[in-house]
Structure 1
Amino acid sequence: MPATALFEAATLGPLTLRNRFIKAATFEGMSKGAQVSNDLIDFHRRHATGGVAMTTVAYCAVAPEGRTERNQIWMRPEALPGLRRLTNAVHDEGAAVSAQIGHAGPVADSRSNGLPALAPSAAFSAQGLSRIRAASRDDIARITQAHADAALLAVEAGFDAVEIHLGHNYFASSFLSPKLNKRSDEYGGRLAGRAKVALGAARAVRDAVGDRIAILAKLNMDDGVPGGFWLDESLQVAQWLEADGSVDALELTAGSSLLNPMYLFRGDAPLQEFAAAMRNPVVRLGVKLVGKRFIRSYPYQEAYLLDSARQFRSALKLPLVLLGGVSQLETAEQGMAEGFQFMAMARALLREPDLINRMRRERSTRSLCVHCNKCMPTIFTGTRCVLVDTSAAPA
């Protein structure tokens, strides 16, 4: 057994986790009818059995128009029975469970949801082939309150934590972006105005749940888009979050689901698989013809977000979760040695849900993930690694 603190218990706000590994949020595509399914429960049970300290349910929209597509959980009383079954199943395996809550904003599929997508400023969605409406002040107030209500529902459902989605150009993140936010009111202009939505959502959640559960926020370090949100401004937002005391930890991320999704993932860009997964024939043709402009390829390397994340570590006392290319044990050890309290893993755990247990038993264990990213298009049919048969995995 390797002698490393990665496998020792650690505190996250009011929560004690059995080790330092968190299953990062990856939309599961297993919520038909916007409800918890047995497949979704089995998905998270596998990760809990496999050794992670906490698994993250993604994604739990705070409002019906905030879903990236209609078959996605949104936090409402009707979802409670299924959510309770899920949290109980994870707890039975000795792990904690977090609900990623947020509003997809301009990333929402208005055609699928039957409701308008919202953004700081009006725009056209090339993904949804529809108009995106500028959010009103009433929309902002409603969505802010919806974050608080969703967090309270998470407490009632038995979740140990919530992760507030402030990244990837979802609603709060789109307000942070000077490229997407062209408002002239109090929610636009200088960073203090553009940050009001993100800071307000985090404060609303803290006011609602207090210290009953841990509160994390997933914050973009940069959008990976010219003219978008960048490190200097993100550092300031992180410092404001820390000063406000609204979150117990930050998970540092990057990229724009709206404008540059592969900036986060790195590795191969599976264009053919993405095109085949598109239900809309017009979108499918568009991906085939011009997909390379949107689904770009970035070379993979271990800890590829670490250089940017170091700047946050040196500027903050707040616990930080390192994300991005953490697939080998020595990478996680490096992150911890540099002061990151928790390690978030996603694709490597899709390939091998029991990877953490095997690393704990034998430090020479190597992740088998090849970063082909062919797992990404499977979100439409049930997120999985296409290189293994997960149907045979233990429930």
Structure 2
Amino acid sequence: MPGKVIPDIFSPSKLGPLELKNRTIKAATYENMAREGLVTQPLIDFHVEHAQGGVAMTTVAYCAVAPDGRTDGNQIVWRDAAEPGLRRLTDAVHDAGAAISAQIGHSGPVNNAQATGTRAIAPSRHFNKQFMRVVGAAGRDDIERIVAAHGDAARMAIETGFDAVEVHLGHNYLASSFLSPKLNRRDDEYGGSLQNRARLALRILDAVRDAAGDRLAIITKLNMDDGVPGGFWLDEACQVAQWIEQTGAVDALEMTAGSSLLNPMYLFKGDSPIAEFAAMMKEPIRTGIKLVGKHVLREYPYYDGYLLEDSLQIRSAVNLPMILLGGVTNRTTMDRAMAEGFQYVAMGRALLREPDLINRIQADSSTRSLCNHNNKCMTTIFTGTRCVLIPEDTAGPTEETEHAAISLVLPTR
């Protein structure tokens, strides 16, 4: 038998109906550059810079399907008022030579109701220690509304020029929290067995595909494990990935890990920037972060391709195209991903440090990322995500900054 053909990372590829110029994707890194739920010029400039830097597609994070699906008050919500700005954004990225994807989802229990002015919901009623308040259980009307809202978001994504959507099923946002036996204690058809806990996620994907048809590439970001005892785990993720494949609703899977609600650093690996978080805050929040931060922002060692080994278990369970996320910073890791059967790689922090890294790797395969995984970029999500190693004036604490810090919500990277 002939040997397996290993694609070159810089070869063109077809993702669903979408033609990509290469196999690199700018991962969703929450920008906090929208204001009042609308696109701003800094948000456009951010994604244009990454498009010019060589990625085949850049991902806008995070676009909520409903007002109560946000994690902070500035996030984009799919609604008529947002359409003109979204169209300017997609046109600008296309003019810069890249495709553009929108990450869509509902925050569920990760919603800081104080910051968004809405009601947070979860699979089951529970006391949220981050927000210091009781979060109510989602009712049937909530479930139906949110499923339909994902379909509406897909339709608006098409209307505003997006090439793809990434459906967020990770980090204990709403769909992910339903998957978690730690957070989901329901006794109806959405709780108990894995099949029941996966019902919401599968319905959401069906709604997105029904709305999009073949006009949009559909990616889903799925947790492999929550990083907490009693949470969603890898063996369950393999089964859910197989069910996702059976729906025919998805063009590619991107595997992730960790819980923005319970263990945010489990995804990122590297240093835990507790001192930097504290320095941004006023008292008494500053002292509180110094005292309890190490228990919330636990530290995990970084190494290149740190999600690869677990992702390979998903790779062996499905035939869907897959995107490798986690510690992709150099050509060696990219080539290994291709050799292991992944079709794409997604990059976050390395591109925050060097938006032109893809162009430079293509020109010289020995190029190494300058990102040192200090994770101080996380503290900038409150004022506009950037690499702190690149000098820039920073704003001081604001009321919204403090709301965000209280919740320690750290969206995907």
Alignment of 1:85-104 (within 5 A): 85-104=88-107
Give the residue type in structure 2 aligned to 1:327.
T
Match of 1:232 among 235, 249, 257: 235
Change (3 A) 1:77 1:282: farther
**DSSP 3-state at the match of 1:186:** coil
**Aligned mates of 1:142, 1:275 — CA distance in 2:** 38
Give the residue type in structure 2 aligned to 1:359.
I
**Aligned mates of 1:258, 1:285 — CA distance in 2:** 21
Match of 1:220 among 223, 226, 229: 223
Deviations along 1:187-235, one digit per CA (max 9) or x if unpaired, are: 1000011001100100000011111010000000111110000011111
Contact 1:84–1:158 (CA under 8 A) maintained in structure 2: yes
Corresponding residue number in structure 2 for 1:45:
48
Contact 1:50–1:355 (CA under 8 A) maintained in structure 2: yes
Contact 1:110–1:130 (CA under 8 A) maintained in structure 2: no
Give the residue type in structure 1 aligned to 2:323.
V
Contact 1:277–1:378 (CA under 8 A) maintained in structure 2: no
Identity of aligned residues (%): 64
- CA-atom RMSD, angstroms? 1.3
Deviations along 1:339-390, one digit per CA (max 9) or x if unpaired, are: 0000000000000000000001111111000000000110000000000136
Give the residue type in structure 2 aligned to 1:66.
G
Corresponding residue number in structure 2 for 1:342:
344
**Aligned mates of 2:33, 2:132 — CA distance in 1:** 24
1:277, CA displacement in angstroms?
Answer: 3.6
Give the residue type in structure 1 aligned to 2:8.
A
| Structure 1 residue runs without a partner (length 5+) | none
1:288, CA displacement in angstroms?
Answer: 1.6
**Aligned mates of 2:390, 2:368 — CA distance in 1:** 16
Alignment of 1:1-395 (within 5 A): 5-278=8-281, 283-389=285-391
Contact 2:7–2:338 (CA under 8 A) maintained in structure 1: no
Q: When the two structures are superposed, what TM-score results if normalisation uses the length of structure 2?
A: 0.92
Change (3 A) 1:258 1:17: same
Change (3 A) 1:390 1:94: farther
**DSSP 3-state at the match of 1:155:** helix
Q: Which moved more, 1:14-23 or 1:286-295?
A: 286-295
Q: When the two structures are superposed, what TM-score results if normalisation uses the length of structure 1?
A: 0.96
Give the residue type in structure 1 aligned to 2:292.
V
Number of residue pairs matched by the alignment: 388
**DSSP 3-state at the match of 1:251:** strand
1:285, CA displacement in angstroms?
Answer: 3.5
**Aligned mates of 1:301, 1:204 — CA distance in 2:** 37
**DSSP 3-state at the match of 2:102:** strand
Moved over 6 A (4+): none
**Aligned mates of 1:192, 1:276 — CA distance in 2:** 44
